[in-house]
């Protein structure tokens, strides 16, 4: 959780802010505001440079048959696609548990569970059908498990927690063991298995790194830019 550790090392800048806040009664408000802005910008700059020095994982290609969707790093849509057989398109979207349900883990910085547990949103579509066959799967370094299975309208953006507008079928856990085994074989036959883990974990790292760099830069630009405020006066 290297990116998380970077975010939690800025405590040294909090004490000066508190000291400044306590002196507001006896100080010029503009001076205090400028000092706080300066401290914040310095902290953002330090974090930005710290993150920029992090070594990215080795470049990894997706498993055979899958290709990276253009622009995937810039949005929250599918990451990989694959054409299976003559008319099936498989779309893979990946997230971590903390992205789906923020704050549910409570795991420590040294806990690798979040890094080693990914969630896949798998849509299998066919021409002429308005619905796709949708799987929500847990992906691990050495295994994959199906959480839910449903038919739903073809989606342009991932909705892991979307509620279907019509009956989506029985809960996957309610199916008999033979049906569960066959469903696992169905997706594995299409390349949706643990072989995706290494690439998708590295891809998430790159995306998180890129988002964090962008966040520090965007916040810094907002704090330092007073043009719009001056223009509104």
pLDDT of residue 92: 96
CB 158 within 8 A of CB 77: yes
Helix axes of 14-22 and 29-52: crossing angle, nearest 10 degrees: 170
Residue 63: its H or E element: none
Could you tell me the CA-to-CA distances from 200 to 54, 62, 66, 159 in Å, in that order?
19, 8, 12, 18
Percent of the chain clearing pLDDT 90 (strictly above): 37
SS3 173: helix
- pTM for this model (two decimals): 0.71
Task: For residue 100, name the pLDDT band (cuts at 50, 70, 90).
Answer: low
For residue 187, pLDDT over 70 is answered with: yes
Average pLDDT, integer, range 141-159: 81
Tokens standing for 91? 């779309």
22-26, 59-63, 91-95, 111-115: segment of lowest average pLDDT: 22-26
Higher pLDDT pick, 203 / 59? 203
Domain boundary residue among 15, 32, 55? 55
φ/ψ (deg, to 5) at 186:
-60, -50
Rounded Cα distance, 206 and 58, in Å: 10
pLDDT of residue 212: 85
CB 35 within 8 A of CB 20: yes
* 85 and 144 belong to one structural domain: yes
Residue 175 lies in a domain: yes
* 80 and 195 belong to one structural domain: yes
pLDDT of residue 13: 41
Q: What range does the domain containing 20 cover? A: 2-55
pLDDT of residue 107: 45
* 109 and 150 belong to one structural domain: yes
* 97 and 158 belong to one structural domain: yes
Q: Which residues pair with 151 in a beta bridge?
A: 133
Burial of 81 (0-12, 13-18, 19+ CB in 10 A): middle
Task: For residue 175, name the pLDDT band (cuts at 50, 70, 90).
Answer: very high
Tokens standing for 118? 């990914």
For residue 109, pLDDT over 60 is answered with: no
Q: Alpha helix locations (H) across 134-196?
A: 177-189
Residue 172 lies in a domain: yes
Residue 210 lies in a domain: no
Rounded Cα distance, 174 and 183, in Å: 13
CATH number, domain of 169, equals 3.10.280
Rounded Cα distance, 33 and 143, in Å: 53
* 181 and 201 belong to one structural domain: yes
* 110 and 41 belong to one structural domain: no
* 117 and 176 belong to one structural domain: yes
Domain count, the chain: 2
Rounded Cα distance, 10 and 115, in Å: 23
Residue 91: partners with Cβ closer than 8 Å, 6 or more residues away: 69, 78, 80, 81, 122, 123, 125
* 152 and 79 belong to one structural domain: yes
């Amino acid at each position: 959780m290297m990116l998380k550790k970077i975010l939690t090392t800025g405590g040294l800048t909090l004490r000066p802010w508190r000291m400044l806040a306590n002196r507001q009664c006896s100080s010029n408000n503009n001076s205090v505001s400028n000092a706080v802005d300066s401290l914040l910008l310095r902290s953002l700059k330090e974090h930005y440079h710290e993150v920029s020095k992090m070594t990215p994982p080795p470049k990894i290609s997706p498993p055979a048959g899958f290709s990276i969707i253009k622009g995937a790093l810039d949005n929250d849509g599918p990451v990989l696609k694959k054409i299976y057989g003559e008319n099936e398109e498989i779309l893979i979207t990946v997230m971590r548990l903390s992205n789906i349900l923020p704050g549910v883990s409570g795991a420590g910085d040294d806990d690798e569970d979040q890094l080693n547990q990914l969630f896949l949103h798998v849509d299998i579509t066919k021409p002429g059908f308005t619905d796709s066959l949708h799987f929500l799967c847990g992906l691990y370094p050495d295994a994959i498990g199906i959480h839910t299975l449903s038919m739903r309208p073809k989606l342009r953006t991932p909705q892991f927690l979307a509620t279907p507008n019509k009956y989506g079928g029985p809960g996957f856990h309610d199916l008999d063991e033979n049906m569960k085994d066959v469903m696992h074989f169905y997706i594995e036959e299409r390349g949706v298995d643990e072989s995706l883990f290494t690439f998708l974990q590295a891809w998430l790292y790159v995306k998180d790194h890129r988002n964090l760099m962008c966040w520090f830069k965007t916040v810094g630009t907002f704090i330092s830019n007073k043009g719009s405020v001056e223009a509104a006066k």
